[in-house]
């Protein structure tokens, strides 16, 4: 395990988006190694996440939704009208900064397309891959780890998902950041870290049992 290799007994686990799914599974498997869990702009009920995608596309209008579905069915998603709709959705719900930071541009350009397509699907706003049925809400009521959930108001992962998780995890806190979408650390870093840092400091000030070997 990476924690053992680094000599870390217990750690804070922060998972952003897909990282939140991985982080939750790590915390469920090794709760004694986790000091706190932060799920940022993530979802633990992917079938319901898909319904959120549909809600965001519907906001563009019925004709646009039909057009996107048609191009996905015909394999013509490189068409300018489809790409224009995706661009609008990206700037509304992925990152609302007009000029995307270089780090985000590099990340999007270097995405592992074959892995992404297999697990999520070939479309950013339509999950058709192996993750489409991923569901962890049934594991949350017994999740005994201090938990913070952070969500952008306009995220394509709708805040309803985070609210459901908050209500299931004992003592969990949820902060919805106004005017932000999927990447509030770029969109409003002061608000994002203003929530995150005090939570981490509070957990570091609380003594918890050490893991057994």
Confidence category of residue 106, pLDDT binned at 50, 70, 90: very high
Beta bridge partners of 15: 39
pLDDT (tens digit per residue) in 4-42: 898 888 999 999 999 999 999 999 999 999 999 999 999
Residue 188 has a pLDDT of 98
Residue 207 has a pLDDT of 46
Confidence category of residue 209, pLDDT binned at 50, 70, 90: very low
Say whether pLDDT at 194 is over 60: yes
Contacts of 117 (CB under 8 A, 6+ apart): 129
Q: What is the pTM of this model?
A: 0.89
Which of the residue ranges 53-67, 70-84, 105-119 would you say has the lowest mean pLDDT? 105-119
Q: For 105-165, give the secondary structure using H, E and C.
A: HHHHHCCCHHHHHHHCCCECCECCCCCCCCECHHHCCCCCCCEEEEEECCCCCCHHHHHHH
Residue 208 has a pLDDT of 47
Residue 2 has a pLDDT of 84
- Please identify which residue in the block is written with the tokens 């995405």: 111
pLDDT (tens digit per residue) in 87-100: 999 999 999 999 99
Confidence category of residue 66, pLDDT binned at 50, 70, 90: very high
Say whether pLDDT at 119 is over 50: yes
Residue 43 has a pLDDT of 94
Q: Across residues 124-153, what is the average pLDDT?
A: 94
What residues does each domain of the chain span? 2-45+135-204, 47-119
Say whether pLDDT at 211 is over 80: no
| CA–CA separation, 161 and 134 (whole Å) | 13
Confidence category of residue 112, pLDDT binned at 50, 70, 90: confident
Contact (CB, 8 A) for 37 and 27: yes
Residue 164 or residue 52, greater confidence? 164
Say whether pLDDT at 206 is over 80: no
What is the separation of C-alpha 37 from the centre of its chain, rounded to a whole number of angstroms?
A: 13
The half-sphere exposure of 55 on its side-chain side, counting CA atoms within 13 A, is 13
For the domain covering 2-45+135-204, report its CATH number.
3.40.50.1820
């Amino acid at each position: 395990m990476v924690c053992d290799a680094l000599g870390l007994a217990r750690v804070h686990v922060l998972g952003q988006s897909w990282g939140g799914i991985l982080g939750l599974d790590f915390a469920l498997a090794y709760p004694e190694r986790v000091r706190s869990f932060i799920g940022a702009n993530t979802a633990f009920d992917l079938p319901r996440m898909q319904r959120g995608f549909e809600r965001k596309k519907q906001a563009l209008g019925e004709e646009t939704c039909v057009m996107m579905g048609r191009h996905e069915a015909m394999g013509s998603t490189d068409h300018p009208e489809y790409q224009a709709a995706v661009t609008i959705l990206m700037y509304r719900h992925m990152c609302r900064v007009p000029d995307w930071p270089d780090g985000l541009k590099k990340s999007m350009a270097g995405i592992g397309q074959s892995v992404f397509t297999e697990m999520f699907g070939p479309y950013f706003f339509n999950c058709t891959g192996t993750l489409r049925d991923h569901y962890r809400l049934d594991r949350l009521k017994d999740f005994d780890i201090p938990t913070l959930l952070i969500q952008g108001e306009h995220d394509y992962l709708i805040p309803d998902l985070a609210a459901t998780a908050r209500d299931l995890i004992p003592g969990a806190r949820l902060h919805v950041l106004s005017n932000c979408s999927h990447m509030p650390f770029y969109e409003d870093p002061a608000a994002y870290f203003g929530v995150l840092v005090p939570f981490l400091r509070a957990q570091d000030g609380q003594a918890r049992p050490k893991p057994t070997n």
